[in-house]
Amino acid sequence: MLQNFPSMAPPQMLVLPLILLVSLIPSSFSFTPVDNYLLNCGSHANASLFNRIFTGDSTKPGSDYLAAGKSITLANQNSPPNSPTLYQTARVFTSTGSYRFHMKSNGIHLVRFHFSPFSAQGFDLKSAKFSVLVGGNTLVKEFQLRNGTLIKEYILKIESNLLEIEFEPVGDSGFGFVNALEVFTAPVDFILDYGARLVDSSGVEEYRNLSSQVLETVYRINVGGSKITPFNDTLWRTWIPDDDYLVFKEAAKRVASTHTPNYQKGGATPEIAPDNVYMTAQEMNRDTSSLASRFNITWKFQVAPAVGGGGVRHLVRLHFCDIVSSALNLLYFDVYINGYSAYKDLDLSSLTVHVLASPIYVDFVVDSDDSGSIEISVGPSDLSSVMRMNALLNGAEIMKMVNVMDSHVVHKRKILWILVGSIVGGVVLLSVVVGLLAFMCRKRKPKQKTAESVGWTPLRMFGGSSLSRLSEALASPGSHGYLGLKVPFADIQAATNNFDRNLIIGSGGFGMVYKATLKENVKVAVKRGMPGSRQGLPEFQTEIAILSKIRHRHLVSLVGFCEENSEMILVYEYVEKGPLKKHLYGSGLPPLSWKQRLEICIGAARGLHYLHTGFAQGIIHRDIKSTNILLDESYVAKVADFGLSRSGPCLDETHVSTGVKGSFGYLDPEYFRRQQLTDKSDVYSFGVVLFEVLCARPAVDPQLTREQVNLAEWALEWQKKGMLEHIVDPHIVGQIKRESLKKFGETAEKCLADYGVDRPTMGDVLWNLEYVLQIQESGQLREATADLTTTVVTGTPSDSIRTQGYHDNCNSDISTSEVFSQLINNEGR
Ligand SMILES: *[C@@H]1O[C@H](CO)[C@@H](O)[C@H](O)[C@H]1NC(C)=O
Ligand SMILES: *[C@@H]1O[C@H](CO)[C@@H](O)[C@H](O)[C@H]1NC(C)=O
Ligand SMILES: *[C@@H]1O[C@H](CO)[C@@H](O)[C@H](O)[C@H]1NC(C)=O
Ligand SMILES: *[C@@H]1O[C@H](CO)[C@@H](O)[C@H](O)[C@H]1NC(C)=O
Ligand SMILES: *[C@@H]1O[C@H](CO)[C@@H](O)[C@H](O)[C@H]1NC(C)=O
């Protein structure tokens, strides 16, 4: 074993990691339920199954568990050789009889019945027919098992300190039986009362009070993996492979990871599903299909059919862990259940702390159809780039909501506890797995009007949400949603050394930007609004609620805000290498290579595309420029400064001339005609950035000759002459392949079309830029006219490049108000 690790560190260096490891192991495999009753029924001996000891239920006569009623013990005299000891005995109830358990904990519990019928002493257990009641409610009605062994599992809320489980034979000569019984406390937050998505023909809505339902497990599937026995499961469950349920096997391809999942606060835990579920998945099988073809992977499960016009309600819990992507925010897919859209543009990276391959789950509530099937599909989202179209699923659980029949009310009055019904406010704290955060419902009611009036699609934000690591450093414990992003003014003062001028890293229309360090050494950029420069507080808050939810690899995240003392302060993630502009010209930083530049443009385009079409659909950036595209330590582009003042008193000249939004040289000329900014205005500005990146010169340079002042005009002229190579940054001129330059020039030219309708969408731009990079990289394509769908593309653009760089951040552009008036004059001519 040791020789496999030639570069092993000396022993003393292993001490720390070892301690860490040791402290980690129990947390992943040590779930100890508060209540944990395991009974070997009809026996006085203990029996073990998958390393768990089931205690004999008749250890002493009239033992703790066995309550009133006539019952006998039965032992199988000729049991098959491999049958577990646990199943060789049974308790047989010849009249209604029950077990009683003293419960130490209330809340969600798992109850399992093991049935393995055999014949002995004149009893043929296969002919037994009986109902099982839990707390007077019938969970299993007139049950009969003719064959094999069956474990029935229920997940239910227990709110009393005494649990009674009754077996009630059907008919006078009937009898009931059970071989083994499990009753144990579920992990905290196993079933959450919010955040489940009710999916039906009318769309998606939140489903509340899930914990008040009795759930019966119907399917538990380890998608793309092998069978997991109770031995390897944290809650002693069995997971089976998905192959038998795939509708079209060729659509799916198994993937497996060798790394244990990155469990994160806010995501799934090993108790929700074990490692093995998250380490395997089915993804889209692209081996036989063309790169650009779209299709779903579909699984079909047989469940209880609809009765009397109403479908039977089921909980569908889907498990995800992105084990296929090389970086965050590359995978977007849609989830459908029974043909309805259940989750659109699912971006796993945005659901938990920003870590790849961190497990999450999403709960859906659906009704079965008349044929009694539930169909689950995953397929690529419209947001996926052509080369990265994929979708995946790691696990699925289907649980039927048992319509409990409370048929024994009178008879049961003495029972001290109630199974369902009243809900004592579930204590569900931070570890939100899927959740409609409190603020959303608050938001949706009173604020809806505001949001709609400014053109936001009504947000359906529930389903997966948690605070990022950064926000955790900020959030007060227990707080939810954007309120949790509220930062006390005192903390900001401390983090900025009381707004130390030496920490100023930029200034703009909004105010000063400071580099700050929060507790836990988290670096952030703090933007302090100039008093009076801002719109009203409610709009400010609404926007923050939205912006704080946007998590994208290519967008700078808002991680907090402060509105005390009439201050309006925004806290952003700190982006190490600062604005793209600095890396292009004027600062003496080493020039970026052509490939780096392309990758940066692709990243920024992806971020913008997401703003326009993604989760935050419809946000127009309004101020795209090279100072608003920041680079992180790996030169990954992050678009900054989006979304704000969208709901302000409309973008008018005052705004522009005060430099809040829209910068000269980047501004959409159509804006002057229509007085209206659209997402195509962002495309125009982005076109300017593309030329800026190519030529390494400012969008406006008043020092130059008249024809050269405006980059867009000047570059377009060269582009139209087909002589773009004449104005390429000399640092990269030798690196660019002709076809790559040609396509790049065409793309930028289209962005700069006079009319918005003639410009491509950001999605098209992204697509084209990825293509430019492919041409540059592949070296196989001669003609830039090739169409991607007919081209064999090898490899995908990588999003990170490593080179050395230098720290910087936002800086103000040339004085916008000054040049703006110049521009108006120009236009007026
Ligand atoms: C059965 O197991 C219980 C604990 O699970 C233990 O206390 C008891 O001694 C065992 N009885 C026998 C007979 O092994
Ligand atoms: C019982 O199982 C056997 C084989 O396992 C099968 O042939 C038979 O059809 C089953 N009977 C019922 C009633 O399911
Ligand atoms: C859901 O729970 C809330 C509080 O927990 C309760 O007020 C409400 O009546 C419950 N709704 C249903 C349908 O049980
Ligand atoms: C399950 O556990 C057993 C015993 O620890 C181990 O040998 C086996 O490899 C495990 N299976 C999986 C799929 O992890
Ligand atoms: C995937 O399935 C859904 C629901 O049946 C359907 O609306 C959608 O068009 C399918 N997508 C593809 C690419 O086939």
Q: What is the DSSP string of 309-345?
A: TBPPEEEEEEEE---S-SSTT---EEEEETTEEEEEE
Q: Which atom of ligand 5 is nearest to the CA of 340?
A: 4
CATH code, 338 = 2.60.120
pTM higher than 0.85, yes or no? no
Q: How far apart are CA 576 and CA 635, in angstroms?
A: 9
Give the mean pLDDT of 592-601. 96
> Does 480 share its domain with 534?
yes
Task: Measure 201 CA to ligand 5 centroid, in angstroms.
Answer: 15
Would the CB of 55 count as within 6 Å of ligand 1? yes
Name the nearest CA neighbour of 383 among 762, 790, 654: 762
Would the CB of 296 count as within 6 Å of ligand 5? yes
Check whether 527 is labelled as a binding-site residue: yes
Give pLDDT tens digits for 291-342: 567 889 999 999 998 887 788 999 999 999 999 988 877 888 999 999 999 9
Judged on CB neighbours under 10 Å (0-12, 13-18, 19+), 160 is: middle
The pLDDT, as a whole number, for residue 545 is: 73
CATH code, 551 = 3.30.200.20
Question: For residue 538, what are the domain limits?
Answer: 456-574
Task: Measure 209 CA to ligand 3 centroid, in angstroms.
Answer: 6
β-sheet bridge partners, residue 646:
none
The pLDDT, as a whole number, for residue 383 is: 77
pLDDT at 584 over 70: yes
The pLDDT, as a whole number, for residue 658 is: 28
Q: How far apart are CA 442 and CA 448, in angstroms?
A: 10
Give pLDDT tens digits for 515-543: 999 887 888 999 887 655 444 555 566 66
Decide if 532 is inside a domain.
Answer: yes
- Catalytically active residues, by annotation: 623
Give the mean pLDDT of 666-670. 79
Which residues surround ligand 2 with Cβ inside 6 Å? 146-147
Give pLDDT tens digits for 566-579: 777 888 889 999 99
Report how far Cα 273 is from the mean position of its chain's Cα atoms. Answer: 16
Which residues surround ligand 3 with Cβ inside 6 Å? 208-209, 212, 423, 425
Ligand 3: residue of 209, 214, 418 to mutate (most ligand atoms within 8 A of CB) is 209
Decide if 439 is inside a domain.
Answer: no
Task: Measure 257 CA to ligand 4 centroid, in angstroms.
Answer: 16
Ligand 5: residue of 296, 299, 337, 378 to mutate (most ligand atoms within 8 A of CB) is 296
Report the nearest-CA residue for atom 13 of ligand 4: 228
Residues with Cβ within 8 Å of residue 159, at least 6 apart in sequence? 106, 107, 417, 418, 419, 422, 424
Ligand 4: residue of 231, 260, 279 to mutate (most ligand atoms within 8 A of CB) is 231
The pLDDT, as a whole number, for residue 147 is: 86
Task: Determine if residue 618 is left, alpha or beta; phi over 0 gives left, psi from -120 to 50 gives alpha, anything else beta.
Answer: left
CATH code, 759 = 1.10.510.10
Q: How far apart are CA 394 and CA 261, in angstroms?
A: 12
Name the nearest CA neighbour of 646 among 443, 447, 445, 452: 452
Would the CB of 53 count as within 6 Å of ligand 1? yes
Q: Which atom of ligand 5 is nearest to the CA of 334?
A: 1
Would the CB of 29 count as within 6 Å of ligand 4? no
Decide if 816 is inside a domain.
Answer: no
The whole-chain average pLDDT of the chain stands at: 76
The pLDDT, as a whole number, for residue 644 is: 56
Nearest ligand to the C-alpha of residue 150? Answer: 2
Decide if 774 is inside a domain.
Answer: yes
Task: Measure 280 CA to ligand 4 centroid, in angstroms.
Answer: 15
Number of independent structural domains in the chain: 4
CATH code, 38 = 2.60.120.430
> Does 664 share its domain with 705?
yes
pLDDT at 666 over 60: yes
Give pLDDT tens digits for 233-284: 999 999 999 999 999 888 899 999 999 999 987 789 999 999 999 999 999 9
Give the mean pLDDT of 191-220. 91
pLDDT at 399 over 90: yes
Decide if 428 is inside a domain.
Answer: no
pLDDT at 174 over 60: yes
Name the nearest CA neighbour of 591 among 690, 449, 733, 762: 733
> Does 244 share its domain with 380?
yes
Phi, psi of 107 (to 5 degrees): 105, -160
Task: Measure 53 CA to ligand 1 centroid, in angstroms.
Answer: 8
Would the CB of 231 count as within 6 Å of ligand 4? yes
Contact between residue 629 and residue 592 where contact means Cβ atoms under 8 Å apart: no
Burial 273-292 (b: 16+ CB within 10 A, else e): bbbbbbbbbbbbbeeeeeee
> Does 555 share its domain with 592?
no
Residue matched to tokens 């990170």: 800
> Does 676 share its domain with 770?
yes
Q: Which atom of ligand 1 is nearest to the CA of 45?
A: 13
Contact between residue 782 and residue 773 where contact means Cβ atoms under 8 Å apart: no
Q: How far apart are CA 829 and CA 642, in angstroms?
A: 32
Give the mean pLDDT of 110-114. 97
pLDDT at 44 over 90: no
Which range among 1-15, 498-512, 591-605 has the greatest average pLDDT? 591-605
